[in-house]
Structure 1
């Protein structure tokens, strides 16, 4: 094999991997807390932390039909659109809520250079196991 062939193959492999990596920016969801609400039978409180890398985003999704959600930006800026509401940017310390059976059409890091972190608190039926479902 010639050096030119090996160099060309290596260059092609590296450059073809770059676009895939650029489009692989998603969120990381970490369970943080879960507890049955003893004075509301059949309801559970679940808390997750969502970390967005620079430019990271969630796919459009729905949440469990029974879930009421409180979202609070821990760091950075998060762009969000729920149902037919406006697309808004929430900054560190700002919050919003999502009523049951909402469609979360936009959820992403508003920055291409800095990370963002979000705390999401769910109150939902205890038998609901899936918090999010992608919208097809």
Structure 2
């Protein structure tokens, strides 16, 4: 499993994890999805999240069953999950979210450099959307 994750990170980095176009929102690309053969009813999904300079995600939750490990590929990501303090994670660092966690802040910590992360989800196979924006979150 560990080698598969390292291979996935290398593949994502080769795809180009730092888009140069300016925009306010993150770009999300599904890069891997597979049923877990040794855990019935579960699958693993991986998404590449690219943040142009100054961009951010809307506050959100993930699929109710989702356990997530996020690994910063480039730049720096500012994150706040639940009521934990806001933290900045740099390339090579990672963090996790437990099922039902509220991701209040997820944004590029820089206004001048792009940032990206690989988020690996372990979810129930029947779950649909991986990310659900807060109902009161309005795009700006």
Q: TM-score normalized by structure 2?
A: 0.80
Q: Secondary structure at the match of 2:30?
A: strand
1:26 matched to 2:25: yes
Aligned residues: 114
CA deviation vs aligned residue, 1:91-116 (integer Å, no higher than 9, x gap): 00000000001100000000000000
Separation in 1, partners of 2:133, 2:33: 22
- Which residue does 2:63 correspond to in 1? 64
Separation in 1, partners of 2:101, 2:134: 11
- Which residue does 1:113 correspond to in 2? 112
CA deviation vs aligned residue, 1:69-101 (integer Å, no higher than 9, x gap): 000000000000001111000000000000001
Separation in 2, partners of 1:28, 1:130: 16
**Structure 2 spans left out of the alignment, 5+ residues:** 1-21, 136-140
- Which residue does 1:6 correspond to in 2? none
- Which residue does 1:16 correspond to in 2? none
Q: TM-score normalized by structure 1?
A: 0.82
Separation in 1, partners of 2:126, 2:101: 18
1:104 matched to 2:106: no
Q: How far 1:129 sits from its partner (Å)?
A: 1.2
Separation in 2, partners of 1:125, 1:86: 29
CA deviation vs aligned residue, 1:2-56 (integer Å, no higher than 9, x gap): xxxxxxxxxxxxxxxxxxxx8x500000000000001100000000000000001
Separation in 1, partners of 2:47, 2:133: 17
Q: Secondary structure at the match of 2:89?
A: strand
Q: How far 1:68 sits from its partner (Å)?
A: 0.1
Aligned positions of 1:2-21 closer than 5 A: none
Q: What is the Cα-based RMSD across aligned positions, in Å?
A: 1.0
Whose helix fraction is larger, Structure 1's or Structure 2's? 1
Which structure: larger Rg? 1
Separation in 1, partners of 2:97, 2:129: 16
Separation in 2, partners of 1:122, 1:40: 14
